[in-house]
């Protein structure tokens, strides 16, 4: 819609700090910066155990795909479509991908573009009728220093989602309702930015149909939830951190909420966790790349 047309002007990142020639065509540049990660104490529906506010400093700019990775994009690069819902159309997000398959896609994109790979994957992702799972390990060194495509860190995802906002959603707060929008009621701000339990008919939709944020990014809340790079740590604490990443754990982090979650789950601070081998019909991903 026209409301999202302003997003393009801010995607140059810090007033032209990045050479457009360095960007993947159509992708969005996000400048380095600081933000408060988590949710303030008064935010309705927050989880006090997992959303403690803490100051995050990201020292490297990065670019992010404006949309969730589509079924067409995944099929073209990987040679198969793992999605459960294939009747939605090829412009719908790929889903039912493991963390490893998402990482393998980002690495395949790096190979295609001639960048260093951020994940070392084996296990042939397109064998066995296209459903086999890759096994990906993080390549040596800092993930922020890797020059190829990768999954966003949890901090990068939330900074991208917020686009310099501090409200529950990037377009405003969660409206007070009978249950604060936590479970059953709908919410006008949530309706505007994403597909969730109350407006989705409990299914995925083509990407990019809802209101973009100030960076020009779509569907960071709702439609499919998204794998991020980090392992899950329930309490990220209140201390300030620079370029954070959780490098060990037992499960991965899922961000953004999906079409089957209540409106409160598409808040910027909302966090979910699943094993990295988990296949969910409401879980997809998008890639990022650290900018030079």
Q: What is the per-residue pLDDT across 19-39, written as a single tens digit (0 to 9) for each?
A: 767 899 999 999 999 999 999
Instruction: Give the pLDDT of residue 194.
Output: 98
What's the whole-number mean pLDDT along residues 10-14?
37
Q: Give 47 or 15, the one with higher predicted confidence.
A: 47
The reported pLDDT for the residue numbered 21 is: 72
Per-residue confidence (pLDDT) for residue 128, from 0 to 100:
40
Cβ–Cβ under 8 Å, residues 206 and 91? yes
**Proportion of the chain above pLDDT 90, given as a percent:** 80
Residues 6 or more apart in contact with residue 164 via CB below 8 angstroms: 33, 35, 214
d(CA 58, CA 256): 20
**Which tokens sit at 25?**
């065509």
Would you say residue 143 has pLDDT above 90?
yes
Q: Is pLDDT above 60 for 44?
A: yes
Task: Identify the pLDDT of residue 289.
Answer: 98
- 135 vs 258 pLDDT, higher one: 258
Q: Which fold has domain 2-290?
A: 3.90.1580
Give the pLDDT mean for 49-62.
Answer: 98
Tens-place pLDDT, residues 178-232? 666 677 678 899 999 999 999 999 999 999 999 999 999 999 999 999 999 999 9
* More confident site: 3 or 59: 59
Question: What pLDDT does residue 7 have?
Answer: 34
d(CA 265, CA 246): 22
80 has a pLDDT exceeding 70: yes
Query: What Cα–Cα distance (Å) separates residue 227 from each residue in 83, 184, 230, 277?
Result: 15, 25, 9, 11
Q: Report pTM.
A: 0.91
Cα 249 to chain centroid distance, Å, stands at: 19
Q: Is 126 left (phi over 0), alpha (psi -120 to 50) or beta?
A: alpha
Residue 211: what pLDDT?
99
| Of 135 and 114, more confident | 114
**Helix or strand or coil: residue 65?**
coil
Distance, in Å, from the CA atom of 88 to the CA atom of 267, rounded to the nearest integer, reads: 25
For residue 15, the model assigns a pLDDT of 42
List the structure tokens of 92: 């719908």
Check whether 116 has a pLDDT greater than 80. Answer: yes
Tokens of 114: 């001639």
Percentage of the chain modeled with pLDDT above 70: 87
Instruction: Over range 261-268, report the average pLDDT.
Output: 96
What are the pLDDT digits (tens) for 236-253?
Answer: 999 999 999 999 999 999
């Amino acid at each position: 819609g026209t409301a999202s047309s302003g997003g393009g002007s801010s995607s140059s990142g810090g007033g032209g700090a990045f050479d457009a020639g360095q960007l993947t065509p159509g992708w969005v540049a996000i400048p380095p910066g600081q933000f408060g990660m988590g949710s303030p104490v008064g935010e309705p529906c927050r989880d006090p155990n997992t959303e403690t506010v803490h100051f995050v400093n990201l020292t490297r700019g990065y670019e992010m795909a404006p949309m969730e990775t589509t079924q067409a994009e995944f099929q073209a690069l990987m040679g198969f479509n793992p999605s459960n819902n294939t009747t939605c159309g090829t412009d719908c997000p790929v889903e039912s991908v493991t963390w490893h398959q998402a990482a393998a896609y980002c690495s395949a994109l790096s190979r295609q573009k001639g960048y260093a790979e951020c994940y070392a994957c084996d296990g042939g992702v397109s064998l066995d009728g296209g459903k086999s799972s890759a096994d990906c390990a993080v390549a040596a060194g800092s993930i922020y220093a890797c020059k190829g495509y990768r999954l966003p860190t949890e901090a990068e995802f939330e900074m991208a989602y917020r686009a310099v906002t501090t409200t529950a959603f990037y377009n405003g707060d969660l409206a007070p309702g009978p249950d604060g929008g936590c479970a059953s009621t709908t919410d006008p701000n949530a309706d505007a930015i994403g597909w969730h339990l109350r407006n989705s008919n409990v299914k995925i939709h083509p990407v990019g149909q809802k209101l973009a944020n100030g960076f020009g990014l779509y569907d960071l809340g709702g439609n499919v939830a998204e794998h991020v790079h980090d392992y899950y740590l329930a309490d990220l604490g209140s201390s300030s951190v620079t370029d954070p990443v959780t490098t060990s754990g037992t499960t991965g982090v899922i961000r953004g909420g999906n079409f089957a979650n209540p409106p409160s789950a598409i808040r910027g601070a909302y966090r979910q966790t699943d094993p990295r081998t988990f296949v969910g019909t409401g879980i997809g991903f998008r890639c990022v790349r650290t900018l030079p």
